[in-house]
């Protein structure tokens, strides 16, 4: 077995770019620091091209620490797209809020390296390191608005609770190593089939691992940190937490449960059944009473993680395919929604209340129409991506005899209809309270909004292509 450096080319590229950007901070005059953001976006685009070229590569690398497969390749592409969108909406955000560009983009790039490593990892140690790189960069980025107490609160809450969950996860990994004698995915899966899956050490390890992942993916009852952290963080970072970070954790969870722990399916399916039901109910019901659009989207992202769990619990390739398609759809619509919120919030994020959206419908058609598309997709109304996402997830769950959970999911989505529609009604059918104020839409943000809206509609009209890619990644 050899090193096979090429397998990790996108990650190496991003890490090197991150370090170069840091070195560029003191060299660039302060007026040109804006370029760092575009340089970071370019690095992400280059990594995306490499990842696309590597699509179809298979096999282990770095002595079996990472393993290239279709799932890892697809996940990597998803994370790179998400981070690139976050980087593009960050440039105008940092400029408007007069925050330093310097360390922001290297941290974002490193977070992407972490997500990407999680996707291709074939060893719990690598998974843990990837998750920690992602988490630590996210803690810092959540507190990047140092002058704002809410941002400090966000970073501190996320950090303290995150550190706890990390400890749980590490303890779980240690117990699994004790039970299986290996931290490699293949080694653990083999030990599980040889009877270790029944031992208390193994099950305890798996349970603690699930607690750690449950926290990071904000599954009920480990979701309590989410609204405060999402509300306080800078809007682009909220998007990063809700999309890239969440997708990375859910995909790693999917891979672990489907490939490493199928022998313990009975146990984790029961646990996740309860978590999924609680996540959908709490996410949707709590979103009903929110008055801040960032908090509303935070609860909505909790609810969506609940839907995604359906595909994980189904424990079938069709379920995994549903999860991947849903994550692609969810990423597009959520990134788009946060891009609109970022632009609309204006200086110091003054306009994030639902009331602020009153009557903007005809005044800012670009923002209101695209936000409407994203919200309709979040509800799951055709012809948008969210409709097919829910369709594939729910049908895979029905095939796996999860009828009760699917009924619950449909009811929960019906509750979701109310708060998403409420925002659309506010935008188009109410009179604005205050006189109009111009909302400048920077070019990079405009591009992101338009691309995400186009992607959402494309997946809603013609889902076959992405569905077949998701199917290949799921091993169908």
Partner 1 sequence: METYLFYALALILVTFSILTVTARNPVRSAVYLVSALLAVAGFFFLLEAEFVGAVQVLVYVGGIMVLFLFVIMLVSIEALDRQPKVSRQWRTGVVLAVVLCLELSLLIFRGTVSLEEGLAEPGIITTTETMNTEAVGTVLYSTYLLPFEIASVLLLVAIVGAVVLAKKEI
Smallest distance, partner 1 to C-beta of residue 358, A: 36
State which residue, 14 or 302, has the beta carbon closest to partner 1.
Answer: 14
308: Cα within 13 Å, side-chain hemisphere = 32
Which of these ranges, 96-104, 165-173, 279-287, 341-349, lies near partner 1 under the rule CB under 8 A? 96-104
SS3 121: strand
Round to whole Å and give the CA distance between 129 and 127.
Answer: 6
State which residue, 91 or 409, has the beta carbon closest to partner 1.
Answer: 91
Alpha helix stretches (DSSP H) within 181-292:
185-193, 200-216, 226-232, 235-240, 246-255, 265-287
**Binding positions for partner 1, 190-209, rule CB under 8 A:** 191, 196, 199-202
State which residue, 155 or 335, has the beta carbon closest to partner 1.
Answer: 155
Which residues on adjacent β-strands are paired with residue 67? 60
Smallest distance, partner 1 to C-beta of residue 143, A: 6
State which residue, 42 or 129, has the beta carbon closest to partner 1.
Answer: 129
Q: Which of 126, 208, 275, 405 binds partner 1 (CB under 8 A)?
A: 126
State which residue, 256 or 406, has the beta carbon closest to partner 1.
Answer: 256
Round to whole Å and give the CA distance between 76 and 248.
Answer: 9
Alpha helix stretches (DSSP H) within 358-399:
365-379, 385-399
Which of these ranges, 104-112, 214-222, 311-319, 326-334, lies near partner 1 under the rule CB under 8 A? 104-112
Quickly count: other Cβ atoms within 10 Å of residue 424's Cβ. 17
The burial class, CB within 10 Å (0-12 / 13-18 / 19+), for 376 is buried
Q: Which of 71, 115, 136, 287 binds partner 1 (CB under 8 A)?
A: 136
Q: Which of 180, 211, 314, 459 binds partner 1 (CB under 8 A)?
A: 180
Q: Which of 35, 38, 64, 278 binds partner 1 (CB under 8 A)?
A: 64
CB 444 within 8 A of CB 373: no
Which of these ranges, 58-66, 240-248, 256-264, 410-418, lies near partner 1 under the rule CB under 8 A? 58-66
Spell out, one character per residue from 5 to 44, where the chain touches partner 1: x when CB under 8 A holds, - when not.
---x------x---x--x----------------------
Which of these ranges, 174-182, 237-245, 399-407, 452-460, lies near partner 1 under the rule CB under 8 A? 174-182
Smallest distance, partner 1 to C-beta of residue 384, A: 36
DSSP state for residue 101 in the 8-state scheme = S
Which of these ranges, 33-41, 106-114, 404-412, 442-450, lies near partner 1 under the rule CB under 8 A? 106-114
CB 321 within 8 A of CB 414: no
Which of these ranges, 101-109, 252-260, 294-302, 367-375, lies near partner 1 under the rule CB under 8 A? 101-109
Q: Is 160 in the site for partner 1 (CB under 8 A)?
A: no
Q: Is 62 in the site for partner 1 (CB under 8 A)?
A: yes
Smallest distance, partner 1 to C-beta of residue 35, A: 18
Q: Is 86 in the site for partner 1 (CB under 8 A)?
A: no
For residue 172, which of 124, 109, 117, 110 has the smallest C-alpha distance? 124
| DSSP string of 42-100, one letter each residue | HHHHHHHHHHHHTTT--EEETTTTEEE-HHHHHHHHHHHHHHHHHHHHHHHHHHHTT--
Q: Which of 125, 163, 407, 410 binds partner 1 (CB under 8 A)?
A: 125
CB 93 within 8 A of CB 235: yes
| Cα 141 to Cα 94, 159, 234, 395, distances in angstroms | 12, 11, 8, 38
State which residue, 142 or 308, has the beta carbon closest to partner 1.
Answer: 142
Q: Which of 149, 181, 382, 436 binds partner 1 (CB under 8 A)?
A: 181
CB 396 within 8 A of CB 319: yes
CB 246 within 8 A of CB 253: no
Q: Is 426 in the site for partner 1 (CB under 8 A)?
A: no
Burial 27-52 (b: 16+ CB within 10 A, else e): ebeeeebeebbebbbebbebbbebbe
Q: Is 155 in the site for partner 1 (CB under 8 A)?
A: yes
Round to whole Å and give the CA distance between 220 and 224.
Answer: 8
Q: Which of 9, 45, 129, 174 binds partner 1 (CB under 8 A)?
A: 129
Supply φ then ψ for residue 59, to 5 degrees.
110, 160
Spell out, one character per residue from 333 to 352, where the chain touches partner 1: x when CB under 8 A holds, - when not.
--------------------
Residues binding partner 1 (CB under 8 A) = 3, 8, 15, 19, 22, 62-66, 99-100, 103, 106-107, 110, 113, 117, 123, 125-126, 129-130, 132-133, 136-137, 139-140, 143-144, 146, 155, 178-182, 187, 191, 196, 199-202
């Amino acid at each position: 077995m050899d090193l096979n450096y090429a397998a990790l080319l996108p990650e190496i590229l991003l890490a090197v770019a991150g370090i170069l950007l840091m070195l560029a901070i003191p060299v660039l005059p302060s007026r040109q620091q804006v370029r760092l953001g575009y340089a970071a976006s370019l690095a992400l685009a280059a990594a995306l091209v490499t990842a696309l070229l590597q699509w179809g590569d298979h096999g282990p690398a770095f002595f079996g620490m990472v393993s290239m497969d279709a799932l890892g390749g697809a996940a990597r592409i998803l994370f790179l797209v998400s981070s690139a969108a976050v980087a593009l909406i960050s440039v105008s955000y940092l400029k408007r809020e007069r925050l330093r560009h310097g360390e922001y983009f290297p941290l974002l790039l490193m977070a992407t390296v972490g997500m990407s490593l999680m996707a291709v990892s074939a060893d719990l140690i690598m998974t843990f390191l990837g998750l920690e790189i992602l988490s630590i960069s996210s803690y810092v980025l959540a507190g990047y608005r140092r002058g704002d107490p809410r941002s400090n609160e966000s970073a501190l809450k996320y950090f303290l609770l995150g550190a706890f969950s990390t400890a749980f996860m590490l303890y779980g990994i240690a117990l699994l190593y004790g039970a299986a004698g290996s931290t490699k995915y293949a080694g653990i899966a083999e030990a599980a089939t040889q009877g270790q899956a029944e031992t208390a050490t193994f099950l305890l390890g798996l349970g603690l691992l699930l607690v750690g992942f449950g926290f990071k993916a904000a599954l009920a009852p480990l979701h309590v940190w989410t609204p405060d952290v999402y509300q306080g963080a800078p809007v682009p970072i909220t998007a990063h937490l809700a999309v890239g970070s969440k997708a990375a954790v859910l995909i790693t969870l999917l891979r672990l449960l489907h490939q490493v722990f199928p022998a313990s399916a009975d146990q984790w399916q029961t646990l996740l059944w309860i978590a999924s039901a609680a996540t959908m109910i709490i996410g949707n019901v709590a979103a009903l009473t929110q008055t801040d659009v960032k908090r509303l989207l935070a609860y909505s992202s909790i609810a969506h993680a609940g839907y995604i769990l359906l595909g994980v619990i189904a424990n079938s390739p069709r379920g995994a395919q549903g999860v991947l398609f849903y994550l692609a759809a969810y990423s597009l619509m959520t990134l788009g929604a946060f891009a609109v919120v970022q632009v609309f919030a204006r200086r110091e994020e003054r306009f994030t209340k639902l009331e602020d959206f009153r009557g903007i419908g005809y005044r800012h058609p670009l923002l209101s129409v695209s936000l409407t598309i994203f919200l309709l997709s979040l509800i799951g109304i055709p012809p948008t991506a969210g409709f097919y996402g829910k369709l594939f997830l729910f049908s895979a769950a029905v095939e796996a005899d999860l009828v009760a959970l699917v009924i619950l999911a449909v009811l929960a989505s019906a509750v979701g209809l109310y708060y998403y529609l409420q925002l659309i009604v506010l935008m188009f059918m109410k009179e604005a309270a205050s006189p109009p104020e111009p909302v400048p839409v920077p070019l990079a943000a405009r591009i992101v909004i338009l691309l995400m809206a186009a992607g959402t509609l494309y997946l809603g009209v013609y889902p076959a292509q992405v569905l077949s890619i998701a199917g290949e990644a799921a091993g169908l």
